[in-house]
Chains A and B, each alone.
Chain A
């Protein structure tokens, strides 16, 4: 990508952003590095306990007394077996029933019986407000008591109209907990069809209900609801989401296959199809590669399996381990590129990364070689060449390789700055020579080691009487 037009440079150099750049050669940064050395080497008489004292009090965000710290400690003591290995049966009955712990066991029982009775607060005697508990409360009063967490009863709201009034009142109180509590009551006491119908015109309540179903994991009911609402795309996505809970690849693949017929939007349907195809391919590739013994696998053993990796990672993997395979094989880069409609730019970027990592410079070269109609080879790239240089450099390409690509950068200023950044001497020297700039050459020479080849090259140039220097 070439964004560095000359006027851009001027903008960046002259405007408000000039003060500072996140580049290595920043002067202040080197000053900071010096300070670091200085600070770390400053002499302090180290009396041990003093150090500890400081650390304990003001340094660790977690003082020794810290709770998170102790929890870790407890966990490790369990591991070391100091705790009894299996639960002890304690038959001593406890008589005291004060406090608020008393009613929980029944509450839990109800909860786990997959009924939501535990949520229905009317079952419980309120703890602190028992005395002012009244069973016949008005609508407003009921909502108010619910908001305050006091005792209340919803059972007296029997008719559909009363229930809906209750719901609307809860919504207008803006208390999500109350809204959901009412919805739980309605869920229990109304038929699904009626509840769905009424929720359609009550967006706030509806969203609370959907969220509640998501949280409790009532997937089936949720699907029915979304279907009834005509929100088919949401329904499809919600269903698709389930694949995240399936660990086994085979089953996951089958599940994705079953998703293909869901009513996704046109684009998403294509993505889900890709997801299925990808996993199917990955399973096949994995099956072969986990036993693979070819050189590249021996030299660069796989760090992880390819299962569930993104498409581009799979392409990279294939460019790394399966480069040059015929298009007919599932694991070949060209097959993956074609199957997933990968753009040329994306393909080149990925292949470049993989081949550079393997230091296979001839493969890198052939990625960019194109022949024109005269059969003459020329390098072309959908990515700007300074980017290519970047990627090569990050994969520690030798200067000779880098230089070839630096030379392909069109913009002379950018070319020079990249060359300077990566110390491509030949490019720099040739540029200065072409500029006929003696002074720049001299000052560059002075930065080089004496008797290095590039130093000698400059010397030769400077003593060459043929060149007409401009300065």
Chain B
């Protein structure tokens, strides 16, 4: 099961949890409780401002909120009108305004302007701000709605924090560390404590620390644990995986249609009608749950078979007498219709995926990704990326390939970096200078350092290390000194199957099938290894290449 801190970029920091004994054991805890808790707390906060009020909600909170409450519940607690926060002047006749927002400075500024303009106009209103999941800068007078975790599916929990990645890894701001700790603390207090915690990465460590502090201060609960083990892993431990194209159904649906907050919008080309439909993609959808993790090549056959079965089931009606028909309508028809609808949508989606992927030469893109992972024909890959850029095809794909090239090769040769960057800027716009600066800061797209530059850097870092309080490598410099070591890691952990080996996608033998048998996801492999060994013993070489910061703790 996943707890993920959601980020719209292809990079996600996540906490992965594993259960006792069987790692894919059934019998997950019921996460409905988390929703109920969140709803109750929200109602409590709304009740604190008695009387009719208008509620302003941050746009990106609306989908998560939909999973927790509905309009009736809000109305029951005297919410009169609902508005989206748009950072524009408001039109509201209410005497009481309530704001449900993410802790962002520009939103708070907007509210303060609003309050001041009311004041100037001599208008008296009462205001309430509720920050979620937490307030910022140690405010004391505002409220927090500790809506940490949203269950997206039976086995996926998400923090739905789009800014987490940027704030943490790019800006070096640690404001969300306590959120991670709080989320784990919440899980623990609802579902019992964990027997073992493993982790790797700087943030993982900080989150763990914050969680530990909360646990030590809080009341002790002795309950039979429902989760056995927790695995905390930083996104930057494994950038390679999110940079590769998944070829399983769910991955492709996300690629083409973008899954947001567990749901997706299918346009008219998929629905075979003139309107778009928003669909929840969870294990409740029988068709989806059977194909979501299948390699795309198996999906067509599966759907065709389903369609045949459905026809057979419908055909049963022929020759039924009234009684049988009645029973059929009562027992089966509804289910069949539901399945019919699902089937029609997923077939439509598959067709649309196929069309779009054929058009964009997906096959060649995959081939390039695989070459980069295997580390052969790098010049050809560079030529392919270059042409991709020259033809102004997808800006994101070009960037994704560049990053993959950089990480698998420990940075680009200086002349390649300069030439590819220049061509990228020509094709997609000069302001991407800023994009390149950010990616460089993150260590996602770098120029190989010549020996000379490194020495200068090291002496600078050396000075800082001797400085009174720092005591360790600083972020900015460590990202420069840090190498991805992908090639060595891949060899050590056998991430890329040997050249020319047979790989039957219908009967996958390992996780590599997600990438058509070309690559086993680094983070997943790492978790597998640690769980097998019940710790990091024997993985010293691997953790060293991943910049260390690993830990394993028993009993919390």
Closest to A58 in B: B338
The listed residue (B121, B308, B334, B467) touching A50 by CB distance below 8 A is B334
Q: Are B337 and A50 closer than 8 Å at their CB atoms? A: yes
CA distance in complex: A126, B421 (Å): 52
CA distance in complex: A68, B265 (Å): 14
The listed residue (B57, B310, B363) touching A39 by CB distance below 8 A is B310
At the interface, yes or no: B279 with Cβ under 8 Å from chain A?
yes
- What 1/0 mask marks residues of chain B from 511 to 531 whose CB sits below 8 Å from any chain A CB? 000001110000000000000
Q: Are B263 and A107 closer than 8 Å at their CB atoms? A: no
Measured CB to CB, the closest approach of chain B to A121, in angstroms, equals 5
A62-B278, A175-B210, A346-B423 known; A149 vs B138 contact (CB < 8 Å)? yes
CA distance in complex: A198, B185 (Å): 35
Among A199-207, A357-365, A455-463, the stretch that binds chain B is A199-207
B278: which A residues are within 8 A, CB to CB?
Answer: 60-62
At the interface, yes or no: A178 with Cβ under 8 Å from chain B?
yes
CA distance in complex: A214, B267 (Å): 38
A54: which B residues are within 8 A, CB to CB?
Answer: 334, 337-338, 341
At the interface, yes or no: A33 with Cβ under 8 Å from chain B?
yes
At the interface, yes or no: B357 with Cβ under 8 Å from chain A?
yes
The listed residue (A23, A24, A61, A215) touching B263 by CB distance below 8 A is A61
CA distance in complex: A40, B340 (Å): 9
For window 63-90 of chain B, which residues contact chain A by CB distance below 8 Å? 63, 65-66, 69-72, 74, 81-84
A28-B300, A31-B301, A207-B475 known; A38 vs B311 contact (CB < 8 Å)? yes
CA distance in complex: A145, B112 (Å): 26
Among A83-91, A320-328, A395-403, A439-447, the stretch that binds chain B is A83-91
A216: which B residues are within 8 A, CB to CB?
Answer: 105
At the interface, yes or no: B481 with Cβ under 8 Å from chain A?
no
Q: Are B347 and A35 closer than 8 Å at their CB atoms? A: yes
For window 302-327 of chain B, which residues contact chain A by CB distance below 8 Å? 303-304, 307-308, 310-311, 314
Number of interface residues of B (CB under 8 A): 150
- Pick the most buried of A3, A75, A103, A350: most chain B CB atoms within 10 A of its CB: A3
At the interface, yes or no: A186 with Cβ under 8 Å from chain B?
no
Q: Are A150 and B140 closer than 8 Å at their CB atoms? A: yes
At the interface, yes or no: B392 with Cβ under 8 Å from chain A?
yes
B377: which A residues are within 8 A, CB to CB?
Answer: 3
B50: which A residues are within 8 A, CB to CB?
Answer: 96, 98-99
At the interface, yes or no: A423 with Cβ under 8 Å from chain B?
no
B206: which A residues are within 8 A, CB to CB?
Answer: 174
Q: Are A349 and B310 closer than 8 Å at their CB atoms? A: no
The listed residue (B174, B311, B334, B350) touching A208 by CB distance below 8 A is B174
For window 55-103 of chain A, which residues contact chain B by CB distance below 8 Å? 58-63, 65-68, 70-71, 74-75, 78, 83-84, 87-94, 96, 98-103
Q: Are A66 and B116 closer than 8 Å at their CB atoms? A: no
A346: which B residues are within 8 A, CB to CB?
Answer: 390, 423, 426
Q: Are B112 and A93 closer than 8 Å at their CB atoms? A: no
Q: Are A63 and B279 closer than 8 Å at their CB atoms? A: no
Q: Are A89 and B123 closer than 8 Å at their CB atoms? A: yes
Q: Are B430 and A271 closer than 8 Å at their CB atoms? A: yes
- What 1/0 mask marks residues of chain B from 124 to 159 whose CB sits below 8 Å from any chain A CB? 111111000011111111111000000000000000
At the interface, yes or no: A49 with Cβ under 8 Å from chain B?
no
Q: Are A44 and B297 closer than 8 Å at their CB atoms? A: no
A88: which B residues are within 8 A, CB to CB?
Answer: 93
A54-B338, A65-B71 known; A203 vs B48 contact (CB < 8 Å)? no
A126: which B residues are within 8 A, CB to CB?
Answer: 140-141
A152: which B residues are within 8 A, CB to CB?
Answer: 138, 140
The listed residue (A39, A184, A208) touching B343 by CB distance below 8 A is A39
Q: Are B423 and A99 closer than 8 Å at their CB atoms? A: no
Measured CB to CB, the closest approach of chain B to A278, in angstroms, equals 7
Closest to A107 in B: B141
At the interface, yes or no: A109 with Cβ under 8 Å from chain B?
yes
At the interface, yes or no: B291 with Cβ under 8 Å from chain A?
no
A211: which B residues are within 8 A, CB to CB?
Answer: 167, 171-173
Among A283-291, A297-305, A307-315, A409-417, the stretch that binds chain B is A307-315
B502: which A residues are within 8 A, CB to CB?
Answer: 15-16
At the interface, yes or no: B501 with Cβ under 8 Å from chain A?
yes
Q: Are B116 and A94 closer than 8 Å at their CB atoms? A: no
Q: Are A101 and B49 closer than 8 Å at their CB atoms? A: yes
The listed residue (B137, B213, B437) touching A181 by CB distance below 8 A is B137
Measured CB to CB, the closest approach of chain B to A231, in angstroms, equals 9
Closest to A181 in B: B138
CA distance in complex: A50, B335 (Å): 12
B296: which A residues are within 8 A, CB to CB?
Answer: 20
At the interface, yes or no: A180 with Cβ under 8 Å from chain B?
yes
CA distance in complex: A17, B519 (Å): 12
A267-B421, A312-B427 known; A33 vs B351 contact (CB < 8 Å)? yes
A20-B505, A99-B49, A310-B426 known; A59 vs B341 contact (CB < 8 Å)? yes
For window 110-157 of chain A, which residues contact chain B by CB distance below 8 Å? 111-112, 118-119, 121, 124-127, 146-147, 149-152
CA distance in complex: A3, B297 (Å): 24
Q: Are B174 and A103 closer than 8 Å at their CB atoms? A: no
At the interface, yes or no: B272 with Cβ under 8 Å from chain A?
yes
CA distance in complex: A214, B26 (Å): 47
At the interface, yes or no: B187 with Cβ under 8 Å from chain A?
no
Measured CB to CB, the closest approach of chain A to B365, in angstroms, equals 9
Q: Are B65 and A67 closer than 8 Å at their CB atoms? A: yes
At the interface, yes or no: B62 with Cβ under 8 Å from chain A?
yes
Measured CB to CB, the closest approach of chain A to B253, in angstroms, equals 13
A11: which B residues are within 8 A, CB to CB?
Answer: 500
At the interface, yes or no: B40 with Cβ under 8 Å from chain A?
no
For window 253-305 of chain B, which residues contact chain A by CB distance below 8 Å? 262-265, 272, 277-280, 284, 295-297, 300-301, 303-304
Q: Are A34 and B136 closer than 8 Å at their CB atoms? A: no
At the interface, yes or no: A29 with Cβ under 8 Å from chain B?
yes
- What 1/0 mask marks residues of chain B from 409 to 425 whose CB sits below 8 Å from any chain A CB? 00000000010011101
At the interface, yes or no: B402 with Cβ under 8 Å from chain A?
no
Measured CB to CB, the closest approach of chain B to A57, in angstroms, equals 9
Q: Are A111 and B108 closer than 8 Å at their CB atoms? A: yes
A32-B351, A104-B141 known; A204 vs B84 contact (CB < 8 Å)? no
Q: Are B357 and A22 closer than 8 Å at their CB atoms? A: yes
At the interface, yes or no: A371 with Cβ under 8 Å from chain B?
no
Among A188-196, A220-228, A236-244, A425-433, the stretch that binds chain B is A236-244
A42-B310, A204-B172 known; A176 vs B82 contact (CB < 8 Å)? no
- Listed from nearest, the 10 A-B pairs whose CB atoms lie closest are A16-B503, A20-B297, A176-B175, A61-B263, A207-B172, A176-B174, A203-B474, A108-B112, A61-B278, A275-B430
Q: A35-B303, A176-B177 are in contact. List 19 more A-B contacts (CB 8 A).
A: A15-B499, A15-B503, A19-B506, A32-B351, A35-B304, A35-B308, A42-B340, A58-B284, A67-B69, A87-B91, A152-B140, A175-B178, A176-B173, A203-B172, A203-B476, A210-B171, A310-B425, A312-B426, A350-B390
List, sorted by A's number, 16 A–B pairs whose CB atoms are closer than 8 Å: A19-B297, A36-B344, A36-B348, A36-B351, A111-B109, A121-B140, A174-B206, A176-B175, A177-B134, A184-B137, A204-B475, A267-B418, A275-B431, A310-B427, A346-B426, A349-B391
